[in-house]
Amino acid sequence: MRYLPLAAAVAATLLTGLSATAQQLPNLKPLPAPAVAPAKPYKPVAVTVPAKLADPALDALRKQLADVAKSKDKAALGRLVVAKGFFWETEKGDTADKGKSGIDNLAKAIGLDGKDAGGWETLAGYAGEPNAAAMPARKGIVCAPAEPTFNEKALDEVVQATGTDPGEWGYTVSPGVEVRSAAKADAPVSEKLGQQFVRVMMDNSAADPSFLRIVTPSGKVGFIKADALAPLGNDQLCYVKDGAAWKITGFIGPGQ
């Protein structure tokens, strides 16, 4: 199961931009807003997030990765990537160009080249990931962020019962997430969430983008900090032990 990352939130952003463009160009008709399922109660589906992988050598690599991402030093990044054997797993299998170096494949996968390359920000995000999990198909390799464990059948049933799209669901990264009555840090807290799946509703308003509009299991609409929720199907950066140190050895996902 690999869900699109919070498709509803992404769609809302795109829809807002298209509507603004339509206002500037009279001959361009704005797209109709997609139908949104009404808020309704649903059965909570618990998740278990893997614990932090305690490995000082991997922590050291991530620290180097954070420094490299900040300086956008591609040559320095190349020294943190395997020279050969880099893989890029997509739905079509390993799409890495075996005739090119590891750093060249990584640059293409996450978008490191060009004037406004967003891949450096992506790398910074991977550097801050606290956990990683073994990749079953490749021995000795770990990938991050690690996917949570949960009852897939139970989640499928909740998605169907609410008439929603799988991409509208994310999971809380820690217990005790505060749900607020408005998209403001000082808005009253209406309830708290456990470590579970939560539905995200599209919101075309000019609310604070650091908040997500969600539906709680009780069926009430509220707002939580965007960084408190993670999607299923995240792209993953993978590492392999090279002697006493770790190196980047692969990427999982469609990339840029």
pTM of structure: 0.72
* Parts of the chain with a pLDDT under 70: 1-34, 204-207
Domains of the chain (ranges; CATH) run 56-147+233-252 (3.10.450)
pLDDT at 29: 52
247, 81 in Cβ contact below 8 A? yes
Report pLDDT digits (tens) over 233-255: 889 999 999 889 999 999 999 97
Distances from the Cα of 138 to the Cαs of 52, 117, 135, 184, 240, in angstroms?
20, 30, 6, 44, 10
Report pLDDT digits (tens) over 49-90: 887 888 999 999 999 999 999 999 999 999 999 999 999 999
Q: Which residues pair with 211 in a beta bridge?
A: 225
